[in-house]
Amino acid sequence: MIAPYFLENFWGEKNNGFDVLYHNMKHGQISTKELSDFIRERSTIEESYARSMTKLAKSAGNFSQLGTFAPMWDIFKSSTEKLAGCHLELVRKLQELIKEVQKYVEEQAKAHKKTKEEVAPTLEAVQNIQSISQALQKSKEIYNAKTVEQERLRKEGATQRDVDKAGVKAKKATETYKSYVEKYATAKSEFEQKMAETAQKFQDIEENHVLQMKEIIRSYSQSVEETHIQIGEVHSEFVRNIENTSLESLIQKLAESKGTGKEGPGPIDFEECNTAIATEGAKPRKRKPFGIPGRRKDKDTDSTESTEVEANVPRVDAEGFCIRPEVNENDAKDNSFYSSSESEDEEEPKKFHVQIKPVQPNNGIHQNRANIDELKASIGNIILSPSTSGQMRRNASSDELAKSRAPYELTNNDLLSLDPLSPALPVGSSSSVSSAAVPLSNRPTTPLAAGALVPPPRPSSRPKVPTGKLTGINEIVRPFSPQKATNASPPPTAPLARAESSSSLSSNASLSAGNTPTV
């Protein structure tokens, strides 16, 4: 039990003990808040230190792992990580302690509020005694002044009336003074009683506050002490690991991890060259870095043996094609000097055998007649319109003949020249002359069907052309192409000039010449 120090030491003439004790109680809240801030700041420092230690541990793990000293970095990394863990554990404990301090702050605020309500009568007693004390002092001064004034007037021989007036004032001041003395005595007893209770209450509150603060500090110191113990254990472990990692173990680890072998190079004896084996062995060939797949190098032509030359001669069949020799793939792979990948890359592509059939013999007149019927069927729907044509010059070249005629004249003459049964036009005659020479009833008409083609009657005789006039005309052979039925004008084509000799003007010669068209 603590002595009542507050009860014994907080009195005085001015009665200010209550005010001091009350403000001291309020200072407890400030102290609690400051202690909470201190612990929070220490927690922040420890957390920052733990992060720095973790970063340092990662740096130690990223250091060079080469050399004999490399295993030592693992010890540094492990020890630093444990130290960081110790400080993080301290941060966790301090955070929990801060929560407890905050809880105490709330409880302390509630206790202070309750105490303020309880000591309110004491505050009134204090204010009452202070006001009575001031009034008592003032009434005492008035009483003394009035009494001195009355005595002075009596000694000086003043009138009775002045002396009586001074006596009345002195009596009144005396009564006022006595009343304040009595009031002060009552206020004093009440104040002393309530002040004693309040002082003890303030002392109890302060004792609880200090005890709680000391408990917080004890928890704080205990957390720090436990952290220091853990740090000491980590340091002791670090020292033991350094001592256990001897020089021999470091050298042994390097030899086991980076060793290149325990056997030295063997002896090499001199070997004489065997010329027979060297000449019989196949010559190694170098592969091109950018070789074309499927293409092989030509074989060496150094050998002059007749058997190899005969073996390279290709075999020819009856039609003149080369016969590819049959090669066993398994034998080729087994006898190959190179690897399977090279043989697959350099394998020749597969060849295709193309056989060209000979031209079929001509069937004669029947085939020619069938071709003529097909041509007539294809041009059956084309109407031959008569048109005027210019006079063709004799002894003209093929280019001049192509320029002098219009496209529609060329079409009419070409189509008429394909008909072996139609009368031949004289060279240099126009379409109007040919239409006049042949009667209207004898002209070929467009049949309704391909099978209903009837050759027009031949004229009894043809005008003979002198042989001297035929020497300047060149025959132009052009393939037949039926005209497409389009709106555009047909392209110009070269004329097909026909020249006949005097001996070919007979009907039999014309018929045989018409059976063999030139396409």
Highest mean pLDDT among 151-155, 170-174, 344-348: 170-174
- pLDDT band at 223; cut points 50, 70, 90: very high
Residue 490 is predicted with a pLDDT of 46
- Supply the pTM of this predicted model: 0.47
Q: What's the 3-state SS for 33-58?
A: HHHHHHHHHHHHHHHHHHHHHHHHHH
**Per-residue pLDDT, 293:** 52
Chain centroid to Cα 104, Å, comes to 54
On average, the pLDDT of the chain sits at: 71
Q: For the segment 437-458, what is each residue's pLDDT rounded down to a tens digit?
A: 344 444 444 444 444 455 555 5
Location of each CATH 1.20.1270.60 domain in the chain: 5-253
Say what percent of the chain tops pLDDT 90: 24
Taking alpha carbons only, the member of 239, 139, 225 closest to residue 180 is: 139
What are the φ/ψ torsions at residue 79 (nearest 5 degrees)? -65, -40
- Give the confidence band of 130 by pLDDT, cuts at 50, 70, 90: confident
Question: Which of 34-48, 121-135, 212-226, 274-288 bottoms out in mean pLDDT, i.e. has the lowest?
Answer: 274-288
**How far is residue 46's CA from residue 92's CA, in Å, rounded to a whole number?**
10
CB count within 10 Å of CB 108 equals 21
Q: Specify whether the CB–CB gap between 392 and 428 falls below 8 A.
A: yes
The backbone torsions φ and ψ at residue 316, rounded to the nearest 5 degrees and listed phi first, read: -120, 135
Give the pair of three-digit tokens for residue 225.
């002490």
pLDDT for 222 equals 94
Reported as a pLDDT band with limits 50, 70 and 90, residue 505 is: very low
Token pair listed for 430: 């126009």
Task: Indicate if the alpha-carbon torsion angle 408, 409, 413, 414 is positive or negative.
Answer: negative
CB 348 within 8 A of CB 294: yes
| pLDDT tens by residue, 302-351 | 444 444 444 456 676 777 676 776 655 555 444 544 444 444 444 555 56
Among 66-70, 76-80, 412-416, 494-498, name the one with the lowest average pLDDT.
494-498
Q: Just give the CATH number of 5-253.
A: 1.20.1270.60
Average pLDDT over residues 43-50: 94
Give the C-alpha separation, 417 to 478, whole Å: 12
Q: 510 to each of 335, 407, 474, 515, how far by Cα in Å?
A: 74, 27, 19, 9
pLDDT in tens, 245-281: 888 888 888 888 888 888 888 888 888 888 877 676 5
- What pLDDT score does 68 carry? 82
Residue range 282-301, pLDDT digits in tens: 555 555 555 555 554 444 44
Residues 86-128: pLDDT tens digits? 999 999 999 999 999 999 999 999 999 999 899 899 889 888 9
Cα–Cα distance between 346 and 341 in angstroms, integer? 9
Tokens 């050998």 locate to: 303
